[in-house]
Structure 1
Amino acid sequence: MFETLKTQPADKILALMQKFREDPRESKIDLGVGVYKNAQGVTPVMRAIKAAEHKLWEEQTSKSYVGLVGDPAYSDAMIKLILGGAVERGNIAAAATPGGTGAVRQAFELIKMANPSARVFVSDPTWPNHISILDYVGIETVTYRYFDRETRGVNFDGMVEDLKTAVKGDVVLLHGCCHNPTGANLNEVQWKEIIAQMNERGLVPMIDIAYQGFGDGLEEDAVGVRLVAAGTPECMIAASCSKNFGIYRERTGLLMMVSNDTAAQKLNQGTLAFLNRQNFSFPPDHGARLVTMILNDDALRADWAAELEETRLGMLGLRQQLADELQRLSGSNRFGFLAQHRGMFSLLGTSPDLVEKMRSDDGIYMVGDSRMNIAGLNADTVPILAKAIIDAGV
């Protein structure tokens, strides 16, 4: 049987990481990997996570299963963090998942189960794994215009026009904040217009929110998600704790089904439990337990929020420094968009050839579509990157 297997395409980001490791140049800069790094190039364990782990070590008496959808207290805490009371708790079904990717996968399985003919509309570009998983699950994917390569902002008119080709029952996949890979986000007025378009056409929104707190703040980053949850008949929300809690390897995520029909909550909750059972049975609990402890303890939550804000402001500072240095070197403000983008990533908007030139000439490693991880920089490497960008002719 195994002889029938075919070589699968390599993950471009993982392949890029391997090339970076093999590069002997000390001046090389890794802007490809999708994890937060501090100025020392380390992905730190947050203070509140350390404190919660110590407390858990002292208090936990069992490692038995929690339940098919995880601990209800985790769901409650995450729902409050993300939706903030925008929707009544009784209208929300939720299940813990192995990371945000697990939540996305379960949402796609849910779409396939509920409406096998549904198409999923995704932004151009989007996180590559969205399309990879959709293809694997067997769901038709349609792209909508999103990134304007002239302004490096959102092509909102193109987005609206493309969504008008969707039909009732189709799903629109949206990024809750800090769009990956572009860093360009919808504003509140645009969110409301997209909601009106979806309601008019009977479309179902699905939101992937992986970076709450990395953009404009914990509350500000949730504005679009809350508007959608409160303003549409039903939606799905896939959330990740990898970035804002720094627990990448703990694989901590949550999938929510929101419906304005309270009577549907029991059915929805049972469906999520069924999907978990078919896929992995019981979700991991360690990361979810830590998140629950932090969000329900005033002191831990305050320390976590403070460190998260330090992280956010640090990335904004790097963005501004890079934009300023590029303006100094180029004599123009054509790179000003970098200071306007939010989150870990920005799409430089240049060609794969120039990306390769920067890698070859200067050891600058970014994904071929020119996505770069701002958190991979520090104050000393920003001038190096800026010079490489200008020297390459971007």
Structure 2
Amino acid sequence: MFGNLQPQAPDKILALMGEFRADTRQGKIDLGVGVYKDPTGLTPVMRAVKEAERRIWEAETTKAYTALTGEPAYLQALSSMVLADARDDARTAMLSTVGGTGAIRQALEMARMGNPDLTVHVSDPTWPNHLSILKFVGIPFFEYRYFDAETRGVDFEGMKADIARAKKGDLVLLHGCCHNPTGANLTLEQWAEIVAILDKTGAVPLVDLAYQGFGDGLEEDAAGTRLVLRSRPDALVAASCSKNFGIYRERTGLLMVQVADAAQKDLAQGALAFLGRQNYSFPPDHGARIVQTILDDEGLAADWKAELEEVRLGMLSLRQQLAEELRNLTGSDRFDFIERHRGMFSRLGATPQQVQKIKEDNAIYMVGDSRLNIAGLNRDSVPILARAIVEAGV
């Protein structure tokens, strides 16, 4: 039965993590793995999460199943945080998912149910798992230009030209904020231009919102997504709670599907329930219950937002420090894009050979395409990285 199994290519980031753990050098720096780390190198449990878990533990009387598509209070609370007044209850179907990755997978399955000839358009570059999932489920895709290797910003003219080629019924996958792996974001004005192109082509947006609150703030980071929902009749949004609530291992996500008119909502909700049933039956509840408990309590929500803002401002401070160190070392402003990028990641524009040199000479680990996790730094390691970048000739 299993004789036809073929070796699978190892995940590059997971392989890099293994290589980092095996490195015995003192002072090694991990900028590869995509999780938030505090200045001590830990991924802490947020204060509000700890308190929510305590309350859940004290009040919980059963581990019986909740609703097939997820706890309704969670669906309402998280969708309100993400979409605010852009959510049209009469036209929005929702599904609690196994993390943001599960939301993306279910979104693609849902879109293919609606259009068996589906083609997906994804940014070049994009989160590698986007492409991996598309290949595995056999959905054809095109890559649209996104990152300008010269400016380390968005190649917006190229992006517009490529997205304009999407056909009616195609899916256009957009990063809601804090683009992974580049850190280069669209402005709200650019979002409006993308929406106008989608209006002309009839293509359907799928927004992957994995880092809300890590860029310019909770409201600001959702502005592009909300504009899309207000402007397009059909749209999908995949949201993750891994980063902004710090509950990575709880695998907590949400898929929101906006349909053209209210008459289609029940069909969409039934399709989501069916897809969930085929995949994991009932969704996990613990992470969802944590999020719902926080968002529905004024005091917990305020504390969570305050701690999330500390995280965001800490990453911005590290960006500013790294850009300044590089400016001083090079006498040039060519690395100022690091300060303009948002979220956990930036792509330096270094070659694989330069990335390898940085690793070999300085025990600094980043992904081969030169994506680095800003949150893996602290004030003491920033100067070390800056010198390594310059010495490698980036």
**TM tier, smaller:** over 0.9
- CA deviations on 1:339-376 (whole Å, 9 max, x unpaired) are 00000000111111111111111111000011000000
- CA deviations on 1:97-119 (whole Å, 9 max, x unpaired) are 01000001101111222212111
Q: CA RMSD in A?
A: 0.7
Q: Which residue of 1 aligns with 2:7?
A: 7
Hey, what's the Cα distance between the residues in 2 that align with 1:94 and 1:66? 15
SS at match of 1:205: strand
Q: Which residue of 2 aligns with 1:144?
A: 144
* Cα displacement (A) at 1:262: 1.4
Q: Which residue of 1 aligns with 2:325?
A: 325
Q: Which residue of 1 aligns with 2:288?
A: 288
Q: Which residue of 2 aligns with 1:345?
A: 345
Superposed, which structure 2 residues align to 1:100-179 within 5 Å? Answer: 100-179=100-179
Hey, what's the Cα distance between the residues in 1 that align with 2:29 and 2:97? 33
Q: Which residue of 2 aligns with 1:213?
A: 213
Q: Which residue of 2 aligns with 1:67?
A: 67
* Cα displacement (A) at 1:260: 3.6
SS at match of 1:45: coil
- CA deviations on 1:247-287 (whole Å, 9 max, x unpaired) are 00000000010124112111111110000000000010000
Hey, what's the Cα distance between the residues in 1 that align with 2:386 and 2:314? 18
Amino acid at match of 1:129: N
Amino acid at match of 2:169: G
Hey, what's the Cα distance between the residues in 1 that align with 2:219 and 2:248? 22
Hey, what's the Cα distance between the residues in 2 that align with 1:39 and 1:103? 31
Q: Which residue of 1 aligns with 2:246?
A: 246
Amino acid at match of 1:105: R
Amino acid at match of 1:391: E
1:366 aligns with 2:366: yes
Amino acid at match of 1:104: I
Hey, what's the Cα distance between the residues in 2 that align with 1:225 and 1:349? 28
| 8 A Cα contact 2:209 2:240, kept in partner | yes
- CA deviations on 1:137-175 (whole Å, 9 max, x unpaired) are 100010000000111000000001111221111110000
1:91 aligns with 2:91: yes
Amino acid at match of 2:382: V
Hey, what's the Cα distance between the residues in 2 that align with 1:301 and 1:352? 43
Deviates more, 1:217-226 or 1:111-120: 111-120
Q: Which residue of 1 aligns with 2:225?
A: 225
How many residue pairs are counted as aligned between the two chains?
A: 394
Normalising by structure 1, report the TM-score.
0.99
SS at match of 1:34: coil
Hey, what's the Cα distance between the residues in 1 that align with 2:14 and 2:269? 35
Deviates more, 1:349-358 or 1:311-320: 349-358
Deviates more, 1:150-159 or 1:84-93: 84-93
- CA deviations on 1:183-234 (whole Å, 9 max, x unpaired) are 0000011000000001100100000000000000000000000000110011
1:390 aligns with 2:383: no
Q: Which residue of 2 aligns with 1:186?
A: 186
SS at match of 1:70: coil
* Cα displacement (A) at 1:48: 0.2
Amino acid at match of 1:16: L
Hey, what's the Cα distance between the residues in 2 that align with 1:270 and 1:338? 44
SS at match of 2:148: coil
Q: Which residue of 1 aligns with 2:25?
A: 25
Amino acid at match of 1:14: L
Hey, what's the Cα distance between the residues in 2 that align with 1:74 and 1:176? 21
Hey, what's the Cα distance between the residues in 2 that align with 1:269 and 1:75? 13
Identity %: 63
* Cα displacement (A) at 1:2: 1.2
1:380 aligns with 2:380: yes
Hey, what's the Cα distance between the residues in 2 that align with 1:338 and 1:116? 41
SS at match of 1:256: strand
Q: Which residue of 2 aligns with 1:304?
A: 304
Hey, what's the Cα distance between the residues in 1 that align with 2:249 and 2:166? 37
Amino acid at match of 1:177: C
| 8 A Cα contact 2:79 2:87, kept in partner | no
Normalising by structure 2, report the TM-score.
0.99
SS at match of 1:85: helix
